[in-house]
């Protein structure tokens, strides 16, 4: 009985240590979430304004041509997948990777039909283990990524589409809703979706020409959408980690309570047994 009680006490101590770690991780994730959420929201007005200008140019000229606006027969597809570098974030990575794999398995019969651009160590390792074709990768992003951190992979993804290396580019990331809800999202990045024809037209004067401005803005716009998705993904990551660590802390508390009850019962049984033995010994001597 004494050995069993020592084991239970050791188990309680172990669960208490785990609870302290998960609680600390929950608080850190909550703190980082506020900053990441603010960064994601701050990036949206720039992307919206850029879209407004691009829409104005593209919709005002029917003869405007650019590789990023042209739909062509699909022979090869590019996928840009955003994951995290670390785990302990619930289903954050698993959900988006499952969505990507379902699409690839449904649409492609061979690895020659698609190319992967990966942001995040979890996604990189996942695709490497399956010998899938990774063209560009970025790992080790900070908790507050800048555009320069993802510029390489974003520019490569956009340029390869413009060069005809593949005929469409899809973006996969977790869209941040709130700390509890993150939606695995698929978005066709290139060719750019048709602009809203019902939107109010705004007249701009361009120097040297509208075509020249569009040539510069379209790649920037696509890269901005990628960066905005990265910021959304970071907010989703911290939200998922905060929720996962909160659940782990609650589970640890339940296990500690259950083990404490078991320990107290075992201790009470040991005390009762000792009293019974003392009483029996006293009766035997009388």
Cα separation, 115 vs 111, in Å, equals 8
Domain ranges of the chain: 27-243
Does residue 203 surpass a pLDDT of 70?
A: no
Q: Around 274, how many Cα atoms within 13 Å sit in the side-chain half-sphere?
A: 8
Centre a 10 Å sphere on the Cβ of residue 124 and count the other Cβ atoms it contains: 19
pLDDT band (50, 70, 90) for residue 268: confident
CATH code at 27-243: 3.40.1380.10
Entry pTM: 0.86
Give the 3-state secondary structure percentages of the chain, helix then strand then coil, rounded to 5: 65, 10, 25
Number of helices (H), then strands (E), belonging to the chain: the values are 5, 5
Does residue 17 surpass a pLDDT of 90?
A: yes
Among candidate residues 177, 179, 174, the one with its CA nearest the CA of residue 229: 174
Among candidate residues 237, 114, 115, 127, the one with its CA nearest the CA of residue 173: 237
pLDDT band (50, 70, 90) for residue 77: very high
Cα separation, 226 vs 161, in Å, equals 14
* Mean pLDDT, range 128-148, rounded to an integer: 94
- For 88-117, write each residue's pLDDT tens digit: 999 999 999 999 999 999 999 999 999 999
In the sheet that holds 114-119, the strands lie side by side as 134-138, 114-119, 77-82, 168-176, 182-190
- For 32-59, write each residue's pLDDT tens digit: 999 999 998 888 888 888 877 777 776 6
Provide CB contacts within 8 A for 124, sequence distance 6+: 83, 118, 134, 137, 139
* pLDDT value of residue 195: 53
Cα separation, 221 vs 1, in Å, equals 70
Task: Give the residues across from 184 on adjacent strands.
Answer: 174
DSSP string over 135-192 = EEEE----SS--HHHHHHHHHHHHHHHHTTS-SEEEEEEEEE-SSS-EEEEEEEEESP
Read off the tokens for 286.
């009388």
């Amino acid at each position: 009985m004494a050995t069993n009680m020592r084991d239970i006490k050791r188990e309680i101590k172990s669960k208490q240590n785990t609870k302290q770690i998960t609680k600390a991780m929950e608080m850190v994730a909550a703190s980082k979430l506020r900053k990441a959420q603010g960064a994601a929201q701050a990036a949206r007005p720039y992307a919206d304004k850029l879209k407004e200008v691009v829409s104005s140019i593209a919709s005002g000229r029917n003869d405007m041509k650019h590789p990023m606006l042209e739909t062509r027969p699909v022979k090869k597809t590019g996928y840009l997948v955003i994951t995290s570098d670390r785990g302990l974030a619930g289903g954050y990575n698993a959900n988006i990777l499952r969505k990507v794999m379902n699409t690839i398995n449904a649409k492609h019969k061979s690895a020659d039909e698609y190319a992967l651009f990966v942001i995040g160590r979890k996604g990189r390792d996942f695709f490497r283990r399956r010998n899938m074709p990774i063209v560009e990768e970025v790992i080790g992003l900070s908790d507050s990524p800048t555009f320069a951190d993802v510029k390489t992979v974003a520019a490569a993804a956009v340029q390869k589409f413009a060069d005809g290396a593949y005929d469409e580019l899809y973006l996969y990331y977790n869209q941040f809703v709130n700390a509890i809800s993150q939606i695995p999202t698929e978005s066709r990045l290139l060719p750019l979706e048709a602009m809203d024809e019902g939107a109010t037209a705004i007249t701009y004067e361009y120097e040297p020409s509208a075509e020249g401005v569009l040539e510069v803005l379209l790649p920037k716009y696509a890269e901005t959408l990628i960066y905005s998705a990265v910021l959304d993904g970071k907010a989703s990551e911290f939200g998922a980690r905060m929720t996962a660590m909160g659940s782990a802390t609650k589970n640890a508390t339940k296990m500690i309570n259950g083990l404490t009850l078991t320990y107290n019962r075992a201790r009470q049984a040991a005390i009762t047994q000792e009293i019974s033995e003392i009483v029996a010994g006293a009766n035997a001597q009388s």
